[in-house]
Amino acid sequence: MHKTVGRCVFLLGCLLAFGCGKSTGPVAGADAGAEADAGTDAGAEMDAGADAGTDAGAEMDAGADADAGADAGAPLQPPAAPTGLIATGGSLQVSLTWDASTGATSYSALRSTTSDGGYTLVATPTATYFTDTGLPGLTTYYYVVRAVNDAGTSGDSNEASATTLCAALSANPRLVPNNSVNAIAQVGCTLYLGGSFTAIGPNTGGGAILDNDGGALAPGIPNLLAINNDVWAAAPDDAGGWFIGGNFTKVGSAPRNRLARINADGTLHGWDPNANSDVNALAVAGSTVYVGGGFTTLDGGTPRNYLAAIGTDGVLQSWNPNANSFVYALAVSGSTVYAGGNFTTLDGGTTRNFLAAIGTDGVLLPWDPNANSDVNALAVYGSTVYAGGSVTTLDGQWYPYFAPLDAVSGVLK
pLDDT digits (tens, 9 = 90+) for 294-327: 999 999 899 999 999 999 999 999 999 999 999 9
User: What per-residue string of b and e applies to 121-139 under the rule 16 or more CB within 10 Å gives b?
Assistant: ebeeeeebebebeebebee
List, as own/partner pairs, every contact residues 371-379 make where C-beta atoms lie below 8 angstroms and the sequence separation is at least 24, other chains included.
Answer: 371/340, 374/328, 374/340, 374/341, 374/342, 375/328, 375/329, 375/340, 375/341, 376/328, 376/329, 376/340, 377/328, 377/329, 377/340, 378/329, 378/330, 378/331, 378/338, 378/339, 378/340, 379/331
Name the least confident of 50-64, 170-184, 271-285, 342-356.
50-64
Rounded Cα distance between 58 and 329, Å, is: 106
* pLDDT average, residue stretch 246-263: 94
Average pLDDT, the chain: 82
Rounded Cα distance between 321 and 346, Å, is: 6
Rounded Cα distance between 124 and 331, Å, is: 62
Closest alpha carbon to 154 in 229, 78, 67: 78
Give pLDDT, residue 227.
87
Give pLDDT, residue 172.
55
DSSP, residue by residue, 51-72: HHHHHHHHHHHHHHHHHHHHHH
Give pLDDT, residue 57.
42
Contact 248, 258 (CB under 8 A): yes
**pLDDT tens-digit readout, 159-181:** 999 999 998 766 555 678 888 88
DSSP, residue by residue, 88-118: EEEBTEEEEE----TT-SEEEEEEESSTTS-
Closest alpha carbon to 235 in 318, 292, 303: 292
> What domains can be seen in the chain, in order of their start residue?
86-163 (2.60.40.10), 172-203 (no CATH), 231-406 (2.130.10.10)
Closest alpha carbon to 144 in 194, 187, 98, 203: 98
Q: What is the β-pairing status of strands 393-394 and 397-398?
A: antiparallel
Closest alpha carbon to 337 in 319, 352, 356, 358: 358
Question: What single-letter DSSP state applies at residue 285?
Answer: E
Residue 35 has pLDDT above 70, yes or no: no
Residue 38 has pLDDT above 60, yes or no: no
pTM of the model: 0.59
Q: What is the β-pairing status of strands 140-149 and 106-112?
A: antiparallel
Closest alpha carbon to 245 in 255, 256, 260: 260
Strands (E), 288-396: 288-293, 297-298, 302-303, 307-311, 327-333, 336-341, 345-346, 350-351, 355-359, 375-381, 384-389, 393-394
Closest alpha carbon to 30 in 9, 11, 15: 9
Instruction: Return all residues near 66 (Cβ < 8 A) that are at least 6 apart.
Output: none
**pLDDT tens-digit readout, 83-142:** 999 999 999 999 999 999 999 999 999 999 999 889 999 999 999 999 999 999 999 999
**pLDDT tens-digit readout, 225-236:** 778 899 999 999
Give pLDDT, residue 288.
97
* pLDDT average, residue stretch 347-357: 96
Question: What single-letter DSSP state applies at residue 5?
Answer: H
pLDDT band for position 207 (50/70/90)?
A: confident
3-state secondary structure of 34: helix
DSSP, residue by residue, 171-203: STTPEEESS-EEEEEEETTEEEEEES-S-EEE-
Residue 235, CA distances (Å) to 20, 105, 273 in order: 125, 57, 15
In percent, the amount of the chain with pLDDT more than 70 equals 76
Residue 73 has pLDDT above 80, yes or no: no
Residue 222 has pLDDT above 60, yes or no: no
Rounded Cα distance between 328 and 374, Å, is: 8
Give pLDDT, residue 206.
74
Please give the distance of CA 3 from its chain centroid, rounded to a whole number.
118
